[in-house]
A and B are shown apart, each in its own frame.
Chain A
Amino acid sequence: MQELLQWVEACEADAIDEEDVIRFDHGDRTFAIYRTAKGSYYATDGYCTHEKFHLSEGLVMGTIIECPKHNGRFDYTTGAAKRTPVCVDLRTYPVKLEHNKVFIQI
């Protein structure tokens, strides 16, 4: 069965600093929304795939998010796991910008 996807407003575009991340909760799910230094936006699951810690507390370096708990890394543009103890990729979500607001498709 196909999942029913919808666009959900996550935040104002300038709610996220350049090269940074914020947390966005929707229902019982949590997401991380990223803004690159060049002003592009991305979204992933909010919890690290190693253990249940919020990536929004982590450090953005280029297109890498480093998890605050054990310094595991992901490329948040693709979700690819880049450094142990992270071994499982992160789920990513489409993002669009409309009227200066960030929407993610979930």
Chain B
Amino acid sequence: MRALGLKNPRWLPLHVLLGVVFLSGLCTLALGSVSYQWNFEAVWGYRTKFLAGWAVTILLAICSLVLSTCLGLLAALMRRSVWMPFRATAIVYTELIRSTPLLVQILLLYYGIFQAVGLQNRFVAGVVILSLFAGAYISEIIRAGIEGIPQTQLESARSLGFTPFQTYRFVILPQALRQILPPMTGQFISLIKDSSLLSIIGVQELTLNAREINSYTYSTLESYLPLALGYLLLTLPLSMLAHQLEKRIGYGS
């Protein structure tokens, strides 16, 4: 909640509502001055195309979340490995991904590598690219989660006679999970938003479909306002969930 500057999270819905009313008031004023002609009827005819794009976006985000979590876990464990080549590989992977724009990665991987190896399915290509991208960030989230456990907790487990496996199972895992869940939710939100960039390689997701609807109907705002709304419907609940989780991990320290 601190991030939003709110003292009492119960007021969050009210704040959001007030914000929306205020902002839409501003927009109406701005648009009113250029006398925009609304034409929702033409766009309404393409509602199934819109919904299909929305479904693809959701599916893209979910598939990428699963794959990137696996990749992230692997990279995090490799980073903690005692074997140098593992550590080096993990470091190069995370640093390369985190230091280049996603758009560049999409272009390079799709046109440079996937076309060369004959990966034709755009959806699969999209999932792989997004997962490689998010995996680098997730590996850092997981690493921080494990390394954030105070040494005294492990020492306590040892003094009680826990085996190393029991320590992982009953102390490290549950404590790390609490640390990891809120930033993971944030990462999922990013995945949903970042998937819009896949429109440039022709993945039939929400953004691409909205752009196509716009080109058929010549009604920009009627296509793009629902587009923004489509993303908000997915990300706002998740962002509230992240805040809830964040509150729950507090050990009061």
Does B bind A?
no
User: Which residue numbers of B lie inside 8 Å of A, CB to CB?
Assistant: none
